[in-house]
Structure 1
Amino acid sequence: MTSENGGQTDGRTLRFQHRRPEILGALTEYILEHGVGDLSLRPAADAIGVTHTTLLRHFGSKEGLLLEVLEEIRVDFIARIAPESSRVEVTDLGTLLRKQWRALTTDRELRQFRLLFELTAQTRASRPNDGRRRVHDAVSRDFTAAVRNLLTDHLAISAARAETLAILVVAQYRGLVVDLLLTGDRRRTDVAIDEFIDMLVRASRESSAL
């Protein structure tokens, strides 16, 4: 069978193309549970009930599969944190940041953070054009942008100040998520984020009063 670009398309690929989103979703769950360090196609295929050949047919290679899963996670992660405040009118900086912290520390998001931290460890020494490095950098960029957009959409601050605050807030989020993943002590991290937010709010008010 000939594809639109003139190449040959495997008939089996077309026949099972409708299963691709289902397979990608199952693989995403598998990788969120098992990480990427020891990822192997055959165990992954067995776990989600397909064959090794099916995965290769849909994704081309282990790296191709992994990049699609990471992109799926990136899109889901940003979509879940970005619209949180757009559904509720919030004008107080402290309320806004506490709502976002709660959104970031659900069990689902913590699994995604764990995988993204693993990806960070793998990509620091890689070339900038490597697929994993590109996904990692996109997550970092989009995470900061999501926080910045929340600030500019709901607070009367300049874009430059929102960018600076977003970098600071994201750094605190990441650090406290690491602490939460290591200790499992949610009360400890909630108290710490509350203290940070209170400090930030006080500094913001003092700056506005000058």
Structure 2
Amino acid sequence: MADTDDEGTERVDGRRLRYRHRREELLQAATEHALAHGPARLSLRRIADSAGVSHAALLHHFGTRENLVAEIVERVLDRAFTAPRVLAGEHVPDEEGGPLRALWRRATTGEGEAYVRLFLAVTGGALHDEALAGPVRRSLRRRTEVLEAGLLRAGCPPARAGALATLVMGTLRGLVVDRLVTGDTARVDAAFEAFVRGLERQREQW
């Protein structure tokens, strides 16, 4: 725990410094377990077995299952529907398709798709589990705010930016669910492209 010396300067317990990296390793292992097995199997014992540590080690670092699950959820949600340049507010050139296409590529390929798949499972679970609901609400607000800021930078009228960002976020989620459940990638990708082109036509009027 933190302490202070005789001059009132805060000191950090050396044990915390030693454990800090181990805690990160455990959180990453727990996140990978969740990606592989879904949120329904997030018990401390299953996660401990998957990470190759004792049940007591997880309790030492995270206290309770609820604390650990909350941190896993925060990490998963932070990496779903996220393209690093978009999240950082950087410009994505038109020749690269712009920010929405960058988000779509990230959400529908490789590691990004795995995080989005778990994001959707967690979002559904949040309807019945208050421990999941808080992190989900925060994540959705954050993503909507990122999209809203991008729309404002693109010239969207401020009075419309919030509603349009919500529409974009909801459409992305719905299309990804359709894509994952049906496997009809060509149809859903075409629907996404039609949606983006409609937004681009709106942008010409701003």
Q: TM-score, normalised by structure 2?
A: 0.81
The reply to whether residue 165 of structure 1 matches residue 169 of structure 2 is no
C-alpha displacement of 1:131: 3.7
Alignment match of 1:121 (pick from 120, 124, 137): 124
> Who is 2:87 aligned against?
83
Give CA deviations for 1:78-114 in whole Å, capped at 9, x if unaligned.
Answer: 663533761534499x744223221222232222222
1:182 maps to which residue?
Answer: 181
Are 2:58 and 1:55 equivalent residues in the alignment? Answer: yes
Matched, 1:18 2:21: yes
Relative distance call for 1:132 and 1:185 in structure 2 (3 A) is same
Deviates more, 1:11-20 or 1:137-146: 11-20
Instruction: Please report how far the alpha carbon of residue 4 of structure 1 lies from its aligned counterpart in structure 2 after TM superposition.
Output: 3.0
Q: After superposition, what is the alpha-carbon deviation per residue over 1:120-139, rounded to whole angstroms, capped at 9, x for unaligned? A: 2222245xxx4421101011
For normalisation by structure 1, the TM-score amounts to 0.79
Whether the 8 Å contact between 2:48 and 2:54 is mirrored in structure 1 is yes
Report 1:24-35 matches (<5 A). 24-35=27-38
Shifted more, 177-186 versus 75-84: the winner is 75-84
Asked if 1 retains the 8 angstrom alpha-carbon contact of 2:73 and 2:122, the reply is no
- Following TM superposition, by how much is the alpha carbon of 1:19 offset from its aligned partner in structure 2, in angstroms? 0.6
Contact 2:83 2:106 in 1 (8 A): yes
Matches for 1:191-206 after TM superposition, within 5 Å = 191-205=190-204
- The corresponding residue for 1:138 is 138
Letter in 1 for 2:37: H
- Residue-by-residue CA offset, 1:26-48 (whole Å, 9 max, x unaligned): 11111111111122222211111
Letter aligned with residue 189 of structure 1 = V
Render the CA deviation track for 1:39-59: whole Å, top value 9, x for unaligned: 222221111111111111111
Residues 1:83 and 1:124: Cα distance change in structure 2 (over 3 Å):
closer
Q: Residue 98 of structure 1 is aligned with which of 93, 101, 117? A: 101
Once residues 91 and 151 of structure 1 are traced to their aligned partners in structure 2, the CA distance between those partners, rounded to angstroms, is: 18
Runs of at least 5 residues in structure 1 that lack an aligned partner in the other structure: none
Q: Distance in 2 between matches of 1:95 and 1:87?
A: 8
1:86 counterpart SS class: coil
Moved over 6 A (4+): 10-14
Aligned residues of 1:84 and 1:100 also touching (Cα < 8 A): no
Q: Percent identity?
A: 36
- The aligned counterpart of 2:8 is none
Q: Which has the higher contact order (CA 8 A, sep 6+)?
A: 1
Say if 1:96 and 1:117 are closer, same or farther in 2 by CA, change over 3 A: closer
Query: Which residue is 1:40 aligned to?
Result: 43
Tell me the SS of whatever aligns to 2:3. Answer: coil
Q: 1:89 to 1:197 in 2, by over 3 A?
A: closer
- How many equivalent pairs are there? 197
Closer, same or farther in 2 for the Cα pair 1:36/1:105, shift >3 Å? Answer: same
Deviation at 1:60, TM superposition (A): 0.8
Give, in whole Å, the separation in 2 of the partners of 1:74 and 1:115: 9
